[in-house]
Structure 1
Amino acid sequence: MASHAGNPQSASNSLLRSSISFFHIVFMVTAAAAPLVVVSAYIPISLAGGAGMSVALTYAATTFILLIFTVGFAQMAKRITSAGAFYTFATQGLGRPVGLAVGFTVMAAYSMISPAIAGGFGFYTTKLLSAYFGLDIAWYWCSIASLALMFMISFYRITYGASILSFLLAVEVLVILIVCLATVGSGGASGQMPEAFSLSQWSTAPAVGIGFFLAFWSWIGFETTAIYGEETMDPKRAVPRATYIAVLTLGLFYTFAAYAGIVGFGAEAPGKAGTLIDQYYFELADIHTIHTVRVIMDFLVITSFFACSFAFHNNATRYLFSLGRDGILPKSLGSTHSEQKSPYIAAAVQATIAIVTVALFALAGADPLLHLGTWLPIFCTLAVIVVQFIVSLAVIGYFNRIGRSGPLDWWKTILAPILGAIAQAVVVWLLLENITFLAGSEIMVVKLIPLYVAIIALAGFGYALWLRNSDRSRYDMIGQLHDEEMMDAFVDEMYVADGRSPN
């Protein structure tokens, strides 16, 4: 048996095992997707200047593509349980340097998504407080207060945060469904429009590439299922099932909501979306339901932004925790609370990073939506899609090493990951082609976003190579498994891959 490098897992660096149910995972990954934010912002933007009348078809096609990616992802999740998720998957499949490059990249992405979404929270909260309560509070104070609250909640057991997200999500989805069902049920402006699902609609779309990018953007964070594997009951079954269900249910939900948006205004939908933008579905609520529903939606936009930002706060926290536990970042980050078993130090660091980010944008006089809420998500989305491309390749590499047992395994671990990688590469290309349009700016800081992602990834890769030459024991900890059933096999395999004896 190999002698493991580093400290053994103990009560001080272990998460609360079997504390999260299958349904909690589904709720948390769906909350990260922020359905009301997608419906109220991304779908109207796509209708106006992206996929146009093919927006529902585009969301349906994106669902199919992500389900193919999920095939390989689920096979890894059945065998690997780690709070590091993509970081550990990439290490397992492509080696430690690539794994650390992925770990740094996805950690930076999720760390920045939380303050970016908190900017939207601050913007809409300021508007709501002014409209309904006559209070004049700057957006950045609302954003900072929300981030501080996220830390307070995440200090306690993960089940507390999961319960909050579950409740907010249930109300959010229910209200959106009421609006969409009422719109479709009434026949909208000119009756049902099955032609919205005709492939010919893509040929008339204003910018179908932007439509696909916005659709993929709507799913960012569905890796949440694997991040919580160590805290989940029966993770080998729960995580793959939760991933499939989250991707499929979100896909059906988005596709139906997009179709309802088309039916609502009929042939005039793209023009109306260009005029109304973030008020598009609120207008449908006023037309097809009672005004109370519109008022509820005004408040739910706030909770949707909060739930989304909080979900990514938890994601980033667990990457900081995982890299700290492995000794790659300061080990204190890998500590858990003695009673709550929460990664409270990593949560505090993530909250601090987010608050400082919001403060810097505020001091620069940036707009919370146009700058903080757009530029950072573009960086984050590009980083995550690049990581998903690498993870698709990692699935192939991992199963090349451990072997395959039959024809079905070839589909799950070679063909599906190849198709997934191709799809992610196409989306990266679409993003790079349209990056200044999506950011609404031609300034250099936006044009250099791809360079920022490359620098972070290269920093992780280079750091791993430096550790390999200067601190072999820490290098051996990169992507370490903390699932005791697999620990020995992993260490032995990785030693052999490095050309060394495991003993």
Structure 2
Amino acid sequence: MSNPSTATADTSTQLLKSSITFFHIVFMVTAAAAPLVVVSAYIPISIAWGAGVSTALTYAATTLILLVFTVGFAQMAKRITSAGAFYTFTTQGLGKPTGLAVGLTVMSAYSMISPAIAGGFGFYTALLLETYLSIKVAWYWCSAASLVLMWIISTFRITYGAKILSVLLIVEVLIIAALCLTTTVAGGAEGQMPHVFDPSGWNAAPAIGVGFFLAFWSWIGFETTAIYGEETMDPKKAVPRATYIAVFTLGLFYTFAAYAGLVGFGSNSTTQAETLVDQYFFELADIYTFHGVRVIMDFLVVTSFFACSFAFHNNATRYFYSLGRDGILPKALGRTHAEHKAPHIAAGVQAVIALFTVALFAFGGGDPLLHLGTWLPIFCTLAVIGVQLIVSLAVIGYFNRIGRDEPLAWWKTLLAPALGAAAQSVVVFLLLKNITFLADSETLVVKMIPFYVIAIAAVGFVYALYLRGSHPERYAMIGKLHDDELEDALVDTDYVGEYEDRART
């Protein structure tokens, strides 16, 4: 192992400390949720074939479930700061084999979300170019160009990407908020509809499992606040706070948007959603605002897809970096740029994987929305929700070990995580039950999606056991606490044996 004091600039492994603020995290995580994409695509689909007129209630219920999950997640984030996030949390709570299983699973999920969303970017960009400039370009060239641009931007300081995402997010949120507010204030087609928040409406929903899947998919990425902990000012306060704000504000925003969408067409909402689908809110813009708003939304949908794909490119990059730094994946992935301290090699690997994935679907004749933009998200959502379930259990395991001395600790580190795990279990069940309906396909590739997730997790678990027997020094690095975290762990817990072994290693 090289001595840090003599390491060359080319072998830097440190991220840029204290380079981003609390607000940067909020913006990046919210951009990953792609509010305009959710409003323009997922909410109408839920109204038509998912939760029906209970779509707003479904988003409100999902907000509560994720807030409960966040309680335990925030307690871990206050004590552990790591670019590995879920991977490190699970290792500390449930052990190295389970931790590595989670690490590979969530890394794979985030790695696939970027090309999945890039497919949507390519489709809408090609449509935009043809509509407004009469230029015909295949969707996959647009997708590929966006992924290369993400690669370039991500080799610079994280603040560059944060600023870009912040600007794109603010613009799209303002335009959606203005549309929804105008529609609601105008009274929509038939006046206000408070009855859509009656839980009995779920009984008449077309497919409530589909509705909850779409709602959870709308939040995918909120938990990545912890990924940026090593690059954040005062991470132990900023990360938990940013997570709560991201979950709550997105929940409020989505619930209000879904309600406005229902009010806009009144009792005809379901029928209109089935007919209009992704043009649902664009039609509302023409009815309740002016045509210029629709034109602006046409452009913002493209930037929203880009922001979302870019955010997950960064997320996957930091998991590659974390596993590379720990020596689980090739160590080159754990290197950072000499000047910008960005994980540039990991970013390049992620970009290549995303480009290959897009090419695979393009040469196979896949549709960018129906196949690339649907099949991969199902895999990603199932993987992330499953990981969140395990992380909830890891919170319980971690605090069982170190003790619960704070006020309300039983709620924060035991009851809330248990409730979160139970809720995630229900969502996993609903997703598995409706998987072929969601994919609109009965093909073997789709039916095998749950097995892909299980297989990736199994590889991580078995690989950890192999390292334990054959390479104990590498096994000791799984989920390692870096820098001051090791000292904090020694101070904060009585379970010091494992950490002393790590320090000697």
Report TM bin, short chain.
over 0.9
1:72 alignment partner in structure 2: 72
Q: What secondary structure is seen at the aligned counterpart in 2 of 1:218?
A: helix
Distance in 2, Cα, partners of 1:150 & 1:487: 36
Relative distance call for 1:7 and 1:257 in structure 2 (3 A) is: farther
Task: Name the residue aligned to 2:271.
Answer: 271
- Specify the alignment match of 2:342 in structure 1: 342
| Matched AA of 2:460 | G
Deviation at 1:486, TM superposition (A): 3.0
Deviations along 1:5-42, whole A, 9 cap, x unmatched?
99769771010000010000000000000001100111
Distance 2:487 2:434 in 1: 44
| CA–CA distance in structure 1, aligned partners of residues 45 and 98 of structure 2 | 36
Offset at 1:202? 1.3
Query: 1:406 & 1:395 partners in 2: Cα distance?
Result: 15
Q: Match for residue 405 of structure 1?
A: 405
SS in 1 for 2:374: helix
In the alignment, which residue of structure 1 is the partner of 2:458? 458
Alignment partner of 1:95 is 2:95: yes
Using the TM superposition, give the Cα deviation of residue 462 of structure 1 relative to its aligned residue in structure 2, in angstroms.
Answer: 0.5
> By how many angstroms is 1:490 displaced?
6.1
In the TM superposition, residue 500 of structure 1 has moved relative to its aligned partner by 7.2
Is 1:199 the counterpart of 2:219 in the alignment?
Answer: no
Deviation string for 1:115-156 (max 9, x for gaps)? Answer: 000000000111100000000100000000000000010010
Q: Percent identity?
A: 74
Q: CA deviation at 1:199?
A: 1.6
Equivalents in 1 of 2:462, 2:497: separation in Å?
A: 22
Superposed CA deviations along residues 280-326 of structure 1, whole A, max 9, x for unmatched, are 00000000011000000000000000000000000000000000000
2:467 paired with 1:467: yes
Q: Structure 2 vs 1, CA of residues 239 and 498 (structure 1 numbering), >3 Å: closer, same or farther? A: closer
- Deviation per CA, 1:393-430: give whole Å up to 9, x if none: 00000001111114500000000000000011111001
CA positional deviation for 1:485: 4.2
Task: Give the structure 2 partner of residue 85 of structure 1.
Answer: 85
Equivalent in the alignment of 1:290: 290
Residue pair 2:80, 2:485 contacting (<8 A) in 1 also? no
User: TM-score when scaled to structure 1?
Assistant: 0.96
Do 1:495 and 1:501's aligned partners in 2 also have CA atoms closer than 8 Å? Answer: no
Cα deviation 1:169-201 (Å, max 9, x = unaligned):
000000001110110011010111111111221
The answer on whether the counterparts of 1:220 and 1:381 sit within 8 Å (CA) in structure 2 is yes
Alignment of 1:205-224 (within 5 A): 205-224=205-224
Aligned residue in 2 for 1:53: 53
Structure 2 counterpart of 1:130: 130
Question: Displacement of 1:488 after TM fit?
Answer: 7.1
Residues 1:501 and 1:476: Cα distance change in structure 2 (over 3 Å): closer
Query: Any residues of structure 2 matched to 1:10-21 within 5 Å, and which?
Result: 12-21=12-21
Deviates more, 1:483-492 or 1:473-482: 483-492
Unaligned runs of 5+ in 2: none
Residues 284-363 of structure 1 correspond to what in structure 2 (within 5 A)?
Answer: 284-363=284-363
CA drift of 1:205 comes to 1.2
**Does the aligned pair in 2 maintain the 1:28–1:224 contact within 8 Å?**
no
2:386 pairs with 1:391 = no
CA RMSD of aligned residues (A): 1.8
**Distance between the aligned counterparts of 1:8 and 1:482, measured in 2?**
14
> Which SS does the other structure have where 2:222 is aligned?
coil
Letter in 2 for 1:472: P
| C-alpha distance after superposition, 1:306-361 (max 9, x if no partner) | 00000000000000000000000010000001100000000000000000110111
User: Structure 1 211/230 Cα, relative in aligned 2: closer, same or farther at 3 Å?
Assistant: same
Tell me by how many angstroms 1:54 deviates: 0.7
- CA shift, 1:212, in A, is 1.2
The more displaced of 189-198 and 5-14 is: 5-14
In the TM superposition, what is the alpha-carbon distance from 1:267 to its structure 2 partner?
A: 0.5
Aligned to 2:62: 62
The one-letter code matched in structure 1 to 2:146 is S
Aligned residues: 499
Label 1:107 to 1:493 Cα distance change in 2 as closer, same or farther (>3 A): farther
Closer, same or farther: CA 83–396 of 1 in aligned 2, 3 Å:
same
Gaps of 5+ in 1: none
**How much has 1:208 moved relative to structure 2?**
1.4
Distance 1:73 1:267 in 2: 40
